[in-house]
Amino acid sequence: MQTPTLRDVADAAGVHPATASRALNPATRGLVNAETARRVIKVAEGLGYRPNPIARGLKTAKSSTVGLVIPDLTNPLFPPIVRGIEDVLEPAGYSGLIVNTDNDLQREQAQIELLRSRQVEGLIVATAMIEHPLMERLHREGVPMVMVNRRPEGLDVPSITPDDASGIEMAVAHLAALGHRRIAHLAGPSTTSTGLARLRAFRNAVRDRDLDADPALVVTCERWSEAAGAAALRGLLDSGTELTAVVAGNDLIALGCYDVFAERAIECPREVSVVGFNDMPFLDKLAPPLTTLAIPHQQIGAEAARLLLDAIAEPDRPARSVMLPLSLIVRGSTAALA
């Protein structure tokens, strides 16, 4: 059986092929009379017609796809961000191609070149690397981009980020109000802008409240991972540094603290309180449930997609950055100092 063509749909619906094409494309459907669009869609479904995005791209020089560059797909932070992106792209007639970089610069370059070979119209990049020559080169080459989770220094591209500084400030204020003075910070990797921003905010919050600013209370993790968080807390405890609370760079690092508590029979929160960052799924199922800072992940993804569609539509538009507020979710992992 021969595959139905756009002309077959147009003939059966009694419209010009150009009208049928507009009706079947969500991005241009508004240009067609609503009743006509419904008729064309119904005919297309009846014939089993499937639009060919490659052929459409050759004709319009637009692929209606964007690349989503994710550093670690196993991190629960990213799926809701991707969902938010898709929620905005789909009604606009766009789809996303996802690549995973494993935080490896060579892999990232290869994956981005692959996306560009697929003629993506722009990139949403969720990397947080401070030194990033590839992003600088892509920007010089005029590739529409939006950065997620970081505000790139010296790079005039749109970005969408959570307000890391106010989040850490809330965490420290919460622990200080519970009477904690020796608060440790297990910081994210120093190669990431997120890790540095949260570390800087922690130091400022401790100083502003006249808490104990012992440098030994700050340990930088090598990765944003449970294993790295556990290793950092073990080192801190083995050094004999006294502490009563921990502000973790993210929830995965906080989960590493739980591992160490189990290993060493440390009661949380009676002996040590912990605050995470991100509000990953299922944190309320932990024992004790983790106090953390909630990031509006889906909203971040949606805003990133809107910023990219704006950049594609108006390449000369000045870069716009959006910072979203966070909220402290108090659960059972924090308590007043005994």
Is residue 123 within a helix (H) or strand (E), and if so which, with residue range?
A: strand 123-125
Same domain, 157 and 175: no
Same domain, 99 and 27: no
297 in the Ramachandran plot: left (φ > 0), alpha (ψ -120 to 50) or beta? Answer: alpha
Residue 314 lies in a domain: yes
CATH code for position 22: 1.10.260
DSSP letter, residue 256 = H
Same domain, 168 and 290: yes
- Pair 93, 30: CB distance under 8 Å: no
Averaged pLDDT, groups of 10, the chain, 338 residues long = 81 88 80 88 86 53 84 86 94 91 85 89 83 80 87 78 94 98 96 90 96 96 95 96 97 97 96 96 92 94 94 86 93 94
pLDDT of amino acid 2: 72
Residue 84 lies in a domain: yes
Same domain, 87 and 124: yes
CA separation, residue 202 to residues 251, 252, 334 (Å) = 16, 18, 17
Residue 337 lies in a domain: no
Q: Using CB atoms within 10 A of its CB, is residue 76 exposed (0-12), middle (13-18) or buried (19+)?
A: middle
Same domain, 94 and 210: no
Same domain, 185 and 41: no
Same domain, 103 and 122: yes
Residue 204 lies in a domain: yes
**261-290 per-residue burial string, b: 16 or more CB within 10 A, e: under 16:** beeeeeebbeebbbbbbbbbeebeebebeb
Domain limits at 227? Answer: 164-294
Same domain, 218 and 119: no
Same domain, 152 and 69: yes
CATH code for position 74: 3.40.50.2300
Residue 333 lies in a domain: no
Residue 95 lies in a domain: yes
Q: How far apart are CA 257 and CA 243, in angstroms?
A: 13
**Amino acid identity at 304:** A
Q: How far apart are CA 324 and CA 307, in angstroms?
A: 14
Same domain, 130 and 169: no
Domain boundary (256, 279, 294) is at 294
Same domain, 169 and 286: yes
Q: Please count the structural domains in the chain.
A: 3
pLDDT of amino acid 118: 86
- Pair 334, 274: CB distance under 8 Å: yes
pLDDT of amino acid 56: 53
